[in-house]
Amino acid sequence: MREARRRELCSFAIESLPKEVRESKMNTPEEIFLKDYKSPDYYFDTVDLNFSLGEEKTIVASKITVFPRLEVKVNGKELKEGASILDSCHLTLSSPPGNKFTLEIDTEIQPQKNTLLEGLYKSSGNFCTQCESEGFRKITFYQGGKHYVVWENPFEKPSYLFALVAGQLESRDDIFITRSGQKVSLRIWTPAQDVPKTAHAMYSLKAAKKWDEDVFGLEYDLDLFNIVAVPDFNMGAMENKSLNNFNSKLVLASPETATDTDYAAILGVNSHEYFHNWTGNRVTCQDWFQLSSKEGLTVFRDQEFSSDMGSRTVKRIADDAGPMAHPVRPHSYGAEVVRMYKTLLGTQGFHKVFTSWDSGSKSYSSYNTEADTFSLKVSQEEPPTPGQPVKEPMFIPVAVGLLDSSGRDVPLSSMYHNGTLQSVACNNQPVLSTVLRVTKKEEEFVFSDIFVRPIPSLLRGYSAPICLEYDLIDKDLFFLLAHDSDEFNRCRFPTKQTLALNPKFVQGLRNILCDTGLDKEFIAKAITLPGEGEIMDMMEVADPNAVHAVQTFIRKEIASQLKSEFLNTVKNNRSSDEFVFNHPKMAQYALKNVALDIMELALHEYKAATNMTERFAALAAITQKPGKTCNDELTDLYNKWQHDFLVVNKWFALQVMSDIPGNVENVCNLLSHPAFDLRNPTKVYSLIGGFCGSPMNFHAKDGSGYKLLGEIVLQLDKLNPRVASRMVSAFSRWRHFDESRQKLAKAQLEKIVSVNGLSENIFEIASESLSA
């Protein structure tokens, strides 16, 4: 077969586009549907890359073997001059050969000026890459659609998994022996001074490898696995085959600089990226419409891993992010669909097949004393979406248990459904919980041989990602809080509280605090009140000020009525032992710190703290009380740790998340702090993201919080549109608030979309928010 060659020398734009190009992007983004997807006309079979890295410029020489998918009528000769068209974003060959050919391109790029942090860029003097989803095209010209790149391993990969890192780095080295006896070298790369902080990351990686072998039977398939810690990184981490790029905050940890929450995050994210080796890398996407599959399955796997390493109930509560978690989305929310497969198939059945809905459901219950039956009626409603005004019923697994008057689970053996008597027993033995398979708009399940009026425990373990409405009264919810064997449901606080706490609610919390058989991490979670943002999501019209006032009242009442229990909890969970990260110790710290916070005793803990977990908990309380103590302790923390950028990021977050009235001014001052850099995503997430998490100040009545975010989004969009798009998403629920706040937030969104040269991501998110 005759092979045609063509070499192109071009300069690739990674800085601001020309004015005429920017303005052309202001049209409403075109929606792309799965039905419109088609395979490309050409397959890029192999790609050889040669990087000449330089401080001023980098030359990337690519040699690509191309196979035509469709017959193209050309004469098979070399391309003539003028047969290619080059602009700031694309290289177009107007008459490519119809047979196999090799395309050679020399591309000049400037990584040191790449503030997008996509493609090849510099971070703290080191060359780094980020290629998901289309960053590879910022390194060298590449086609759209399905494509592969192969480097030194035997498996083909999509180009978004390509990675390169070059710089002055040292590694922590270790060895992992797979169950089949293969020796795998493990290396975690960081600047020399940070290598001691990688011990926990290495432990996390080895734990994930062993768990994946034990639970899913999956071994690592190469003999080398690298992780690189990068200070400037848009995301948390990236699963590039054998060379994972990580945001430094998810690799580096020491007791002096990291909290137990940081340690848990490192464990979870390291496992997630490792699990992608099979679910995402080896078994990969045909196109980006399948993103939900590869991310959802991998998130499910890392959730199961974290549950086995800690408290399954607490992890499940954390996975339920409230009403915003219910649609099926690529990462955490896609995992809910996978979890429902496991619920329906059981663990063994799910593992055999292995080798969110925006749905609302209602339940109504009744007890027949003469027939000794208990009836549950379940209906489901699907709100209309664009192009789909009428929805078919979903398949919803609802895990259910029944409690008797003493709080014990009622044995279940059979139920009537669809006119027939069905057994729910297992091995001819009654069960304490069963899964109802809801498939119709409305249906009824009638349990037989129920000899006392029970209280139903519904949606146990959060068996489906739905918003469930039920006819249980507060008395029933207080009973479940005190007695339910399903720990997830014990955390469902009654939502209709007046400014006088129901004694049964307080007694339910007392039962949990004093139950020595419960996991301490679960107790800490159960006695923690729902966040203000979570409560506002449940309100028809959100009122940040009212929610904050009620939260403050409830905390003070709980502290007063359970004073002796909380003081005993603090006393029984103090420890002078050296900090060690494991589940029992993490649970102990969590319970003690929650008790201290509720009792407002954490203010006195900062000086005595021996690790960052205790120190951070004390400072979180201190920042809610402005004054000399607050200023002195914050200054002390900064002076001690100003050389450690991860601690400084915590220092930023502590201040901007404070509910002190008028804190917007302090946030503006911190934007000018010499340690803050708008070009660094992690610093932006700490300072600006943290501020958006403070309902009292971000949703300030005068609109100052909205105005600040609007200004920052426009500044960020010129530097890093991906980070800017994450920030502008804070406006997405603006219609959920009162009319005055809606007007102020809408004005900022309209200002943003009116700016010429706005990135496509920002324009799309802001426009959709306005039209929602």
Q: If you average pLDDT over residues 477-494, what whole number do you get?
A: 82
User: Shortest CA distance to 188 belongs to which of 252, 238, 124, 273?
Assistant: 252
pLDDT(151) > 80: no
The CATH classification number of 4-148 equals: 2.60.40.1730
What band does 338 get if pLDDT is binned at 50, 70 and 90?
Answer: confident
What is the dihedral angle through the alpha carbons of 506, 547, 618, 314, rounded to the nearest 10 degrees?
60
What is the pLDDT at residue 49?
85
pLDDT(87) > 70: no
What band does 88 get if pLDDT is binned at 50, 70 and 90?
Answer: low
Q: How much of the chain exceeds pLDDT 90, in percent?
A: 48
Upstream peptide bond of 171 is cis (omega within 30 degrees of 0) = no
Q: If you average pLDDT over residues 195-219, what whole number do you get?
A: 96
What band does 22 get if pLDDT is binned at 50, 70 and 90?
Answer: very low
Pairing of strands 183-190, 224-230: parallel
What is the pLDDT at residue 274?
96
Clarify whether 273 is annotated catalytic.
yes
Superfamily of domain covering 360-482:
Aminopeptidase N, middle-beta domain (2.60.40.1840)
What is the pLDDT at residue 155?
76
> Is the torsion defined by CA of 508, 379, 401, 436 positive or negative?
negative
What is the pLDDT at residue 328?
40
Q: If you average pLDDT over residues 244-268, what whole number do you get?
A: 95
User: Shortest CA distance to 497 belongs to which of 525, 529, 466?
Assistant: 529
What is the pLDDT at residue 53?
87
- Among 7-21, 434-448, 743-757, the range scoring the smallest mean pLDDT is 7-21
Q: Are 285 and 293 in contact (CB under 8 A)?
A: yes
Q: Distance between CA 164 and CA 241 in Å, rounded?
A: 11
Two tokens at 297?
Answer: 């399955």
What is the pLDDT at residue 166?
86
Q: Are 67 and 41 in contact (CB under 8 A)?
A: no
Backbone angles phi, psi at 251, to 5 degrees: -130, -45
Q: Distance between CA 491 and CA 424 in Å, rounded?
A: 27
> Is the torsion defined by CA of 189, 193, 195, 199 positive or negative?
negative
**Measured between alpha carbons, how far apart are the two ends of the chain, in Å?**
56
What band does 3 get if pLDDT is binned at 50, 70 and 90?
Answer: very low
Could you tell me how far CA 344 lies from the centroid of its own chain?
25
Q: Are 537 and 322 in contact (CB under 8 A)?
A: yes
User: Shortest CA distance to 44 belongs to which of 66, 62, 61?
Assistant: 66
What is the pLDDT at residue 17?
41
pLDDT(73) > 50: no
Q: If you average pLDDT over residues 171-188, what whole number do you get?
A: 96
Contacts of 27 (CB under 8 A, 6+ apart): none
Total length of the chain:
772
Backbone angles phi, psi at 565, to 5 degrees: -65, -40
What is the pLDDT at residue 689?
95
What band does 152 get if pLDDT is binned at 50, 70 and 90?
Answer: low
User: Shortest CA distance to 732 belongs to which of 709, 757, 766?
Assistant: 766
Backbone angles phi, psi at 643, to 5 degrees: -80, -10
User: Shortest CA distance to 616 belongs to which of 670, 655, 654?
Assistant: 654
Task: Assign 654 to helix, strand or coil.
Answer: helix
Chain mean pLDDT for the chain:
84
pLDDT(10) > 70: no
Give the chain's radius of gyration (CA, Å): 28
Neighbour count for residue 567 (Cβ, 10 Å): 14
pLDDT(354) > 60: yes
- The residue written with tokens 């071994």 in the block is 219
What band does 711 get if pLDDT is binned at 50, 70 and 90?
Answer: very high
What band does 520 get if pLDDT is binned at 50, 70 and 90?
Answer: very high
- The residue written with tokens 């496992």 in the block is 271
Contacts of 34 (CB under 8 A, 6+ apart): 289
Q: Distance between CA 770 and CA 772 in Å, rounded?
A: 6
What is the pLDDT at residue 653?
96
CA distances from 603 to 607, 615, 619, 630 (A): 9, 10, 7, 9
What is the pLDDT at residue 370?
85
**Residue 392: what residue type?**
E
pLDDT(335) > 90: no
Contacts of 461 (CB under 8 A, 6+ apart): 316, 399, 486, 488
What band does 84 get if pLDDT is binned at 50, 70 and 90?
Answer: low
Q: Distance between CA 763 and CA 646 in Å, rounded?
A: 32
Q: Distance between CA 25 and CA 753 in Å, rounded?
A: 12
Q: If you average pLDDT over residues 260-283, what whole number do you get?
A: 93
What band does 265 get if pLDDT is binned at 50, 70 and 90?
Answer: very high
Q: Are 300 and 338 in contact (CB under 8 A)?
A: yes
Residue 745 vs residue 40, higher pLDDT: 745
Q: Which one from 118, 273, 304, 532 is the annotated catalytic residue?
A: 273
User: Shortest CA distance to 438 belongs to which of 466, 411, 410, 401?
Assistant: 466
pLDDT in tens, 719-730: 999 999 999 999
Residue 1 vs residue 303, higher pLDDT: 303
Helix pair 199-216, 334-354: axis angle to 10 deg: 50
Q: Distance between CA 302 and CA 270 in Å, rounded?
A: 9
On the question of a common fold for 170-309+321-354 and 360-482, the answer reads no
Q: Are 678 and 719 in contact (CB under 8 A)?
A: yes
The CATH classification number of 170-309+321-354 equals: 1.10.390.10
Domain range summary for the chain, segments of one domain joined by +: 4-148, 170-309+321-354, 360-482
What band does 361 get if pLDDT is binned at 50, 70 and 90?
Answer: low
Q: Distance between CA 142 and CA 119 in Å, rounded?
A: 12
Two tokens at 181?
Answer: 């006896």
Q: If you average pLDDT over residues 59-76, what whole number do you get?
A: 63
pLDDT(143) > 70: no
CA distances from 356 to 32, 275, 465 (A): 21, 22, 6
Neighbour count for residue 611 (Cβ, 10 Å): 18
Q: Distance between CA 309 and CA 303 in Å, rounded?
A: 10
Task: Give me the DSSP letters along 152-209.
Answer: SSSS-B-GGG----BSS-EEEEEEEE-TT--EEEEEEEE-GGGGGGGHHHHHHHHHHH
- Among 81-90, 130-139, 754-763, the range scoring the smallest mean pLDDT is 81-90
pLDDT(6) > 70: no
Of 26-30, 88-92, 572-576, give the range with the top mean pLDDT: 572-576
Q: How much of the chain exceeds pLDDT 70, in percent?
A: 85
CA distances from 101 to 4, 39, 51, 310 (A): 5, 19, 22, 54
Task: Give me the DSSP letters along 534-578.
Answer: HHHHTSSSB-HHHHHHHHHHHHHHHHHHTHHHHHHHHHHT---SP
User: Shortest CA distance to 587 belongs to which of 604, 569, 601?
Assistant: 569
- pTM for the model stands at 0.77
CA distances from 15 to 86, 487, 717, 753 (A): 16, 52, 12, 21
